[in-house]
Structure 1
């Protein structure tokens, strides 16, 4: 449900942002490492550290509002 929105954001902000997706069922070690409690969970990373987390599906405008000023 959120994948098409993330693809749009990745294309529009490709010069400032890298979007990577993982399947939490296939990578439970990553889910545990970052304390993911539900899907979808989006993490914004800077220099290898998570600096912001968004939980739940949101429309594109809300995602961008949540990320405003972070990248």
Structure 2
């Protein structure tokens, strides 16, 4: 999770490098994080998906979290 603050847009391959897990294991973790909210898939693709660390990036967008 700490690395997401430095790299808030990731792929499963990036997460796999960070975690040192199998592709299947990494997909499970990424899917769980997507399910509970910290990651949001942004490509709409089934392959080569990109995810954003949504709560963090929203802090820098117009209005931020305080106005929502």
TM range (shorter): under 0.3
Q: TM-score with structure 2 length normalisation? A: 0.25
* Larger RCO of the pair (alpha carbons < 8 Å, separation 6+): 2
TM-score where L is the length of structure 1: 0.25
Higher helix share: 2
